[in-house]
Amino acid sequence: MNAAETPPLALYVHWPFCVSKCPYCDFNSHVRETIDEARWRSALLADLDHAAEETPDRRVVSIFFGGGTPSLMAPKTVAALLERAAARWPLAADVEVTLEANPGSVEAARFQDLRQAGVNRVSLGVQALDAAALRFLGRRHTIDEALAALAVARRHFARYSFDLIYARPGQTVAQWEAELDRALTLAGDHLSVYQLTIEAGTAFAAAHARGDFALPDDELAGALYETTQARLAAAGLVAYEISNHARPGSECRHNLVYWRYDDYAGIGPGAHGRLSVGRDKVATRQRRAPETWLAAVERDGHGKEERTTLTPEERGEELLMMGLRLADGIERARFRAECGRDVVEVLDRARLDPLVEAGFLALDERRLRATDAGRQRLNAVLARLLA
C-alpha cells in the first residue's frame, strides 16, 4: 500500500516547558531553571523516528507544536524536527504546520525564524485584552506586548489565531462585548474563545475552594457564551466547534483531526496518539513527566508508556465525545465504519431520545449532532448519554 491509500496522519509534538505556571492551567507544562535543549532536540528526533517506524506509508497532513510553550524552543529545534518529519513521511503539499506561542516580545522576535523553519500558522495565547484580567490569569505579557506580537504574527504568517478566556470573575456582558469587539479588530480568520473553568490540582482550584474568587453563575456564564456566539457569527467567524471560530475554510485542520477522530501520532512528554492499524484502532500514550520521558527515550529510543487496541465500544464512545464538539456533529456512516454498528444501535434510546426531544441533540438519517444548546452544556449532555 502506498501513502495515498492509507489514512492521512497528523503529528503532534509536545514541548512541556513554560516560563511560569498559569494558575488555571492543568496542561502537562513545567517550569525548569535550565533546559538542555540539545538533549531535548535529540530525544524528540528519536521519538519522531520511532513514530515514523510505527506509521509506514502515511502522508502527514498537519504538524502541531503544542505545550507548554513551544515558542520557547529554539527555531533550530523546530527546523530540525520539521526536516526530520519531511525525511520520514511524505508531507501533503499544503501541510499545516502550527506552533502555539506566547505573545511576549522574546517569542515574537523568533517568528521570522520560525516561518523560515517551516511553521505556517501560529496560535497565540493572548487570553485577555484587559490588564487586570491578564494579571488575574497569571500571564506574563501585557496588552501592548500582545498587540505587538499579533502585528509580527500577521507580518509573517498568512494564518494565525489567538485564544481568549471569558467568564472571568466579575466580568459583565457589556465588558466582554467591548473586549470581543476589540479582539475582532485584531483577528485573522480564526479565533479560539474558552470559558474559564476550574481544573483539579491547579492553583485556581485551591484559591477557588478558599473562596478567594467566584466564577459567574450559570445564568451569566450562559449570557457570556451567547454573546460570544452572536458577536463572532456576525463577524463571519463561524463556531465550528464549542470554543473555536473560523471563516469557512480557515478551520484549524490539526484540531479537526482530533474532533473527527482521524489518525494522529503524538511525540514528547504526555502526548497521545490514535492510529488505525488494519481494522484496529490503537491508542498510544507517552510518559508524562518530562525527565522520565527523556530518560526513557535515551534508554529505549522512544517515550511510549502504553499502546492499547481499543474495543469497538471505546472507539464509539471516543468518536461521540470528540465529534459532538463539532457543529457538524458525526456522520452516521463514519460511526458505522469506526465501530461496526449504527449509532442508534449503540446508544441507549432511553437516554438518547429525551436529549433529542429536549433540543440538545439532533438526529437525522445522515448525522447525529449537538445543537447550539447542547454544545453549550456538552459535558452534561455526554454524561447523560453515556452514563
Give me the residues that bind ligand SF4 (CB under 6 A), please. Answer: 18, 21-22, 25, 27, 29, 67-69, 102, 125
- Give alpha helix (H) positions in 286-346: 290-300, 312-323, 332-339, 343-346
Please give the distance of CA 137 from its chain centroid, rounded to a whole number: 19
The beta-strand segments (E) located in 173-303 are 190-195, 238-241, 244-246, 263-267, 272-277, 280-286
- Closer CB to ligand SF4, 14 or 325, in the complex: 14
198/310 with CB nearer ligand SF4: 198
- Considering the complex, what minimum distance in angstroms separates the CB of residue 294 from ligand SF4? 18
Strand order in the sheet with 91-101: 238-241, 244-246, 190-195, 159-166, 121-127, 91-101, 60-67, 9-15, 263-267, 272-277, 280-286, 304-309
Q: How far is the CB of 338 from ligand SF4 (least distance, A)?
A: 31
Where b means 16+ CB within 10 Å and e means fewer, 176-200 reads beebbeebeebbbbbbbbbbbebee
Comparison of 69 and 243: residue with beta carbon closer to ligand SF4: 69
Nearer to ligand SF4, 25 or 207 (CB): 25
Q: How far is the CB of 103 from ligand SF4 (least distance, A)?
A: 10
Smallest gap from Cβ 318 to ligand SF4, in A, equals 24
To the nearest 10 degrees (0 to 180), the angle between helices 312-323 and 378-386 is 160
CB of 1 to ligand SF4, least distance (A): 38
- Report the 10 Å Cβ neighbour count for 291: 12
Order the strands of the 361-363 sheet from edge to edge. Answer: 330-331, 367-370, 361-363
* Nearer of residues 176 and 204 to ligand SF4, judged by Cβ: 204
- Please, what is the Cα angle at 166 between 160 and 170, to 5 degrees? 150
Closer residue to ligand SF4 (CB): 72 or 80: 72
Q: How far is CA 242 from the centre of its chain?
A: 12
Q: Which CB atom, from 137 or from 326, has the smaller least distance to ligand SF4?
A: 137
Least distance CB 126 / ligand SF4 (angstroms) = 11
What distance, in Å, lies between the first and last C-alpha atoms of the chain? 40
- Min dist CB 192 to ligand SF4, Å, is 13
* Cα 83 to Cα 297: distance, rounded to the nearest angstrom: 20
CB of 317 to ligand SF4, least distance (A): 27
Pick 23 or 301: Cβ nearer ligand SF4: 23
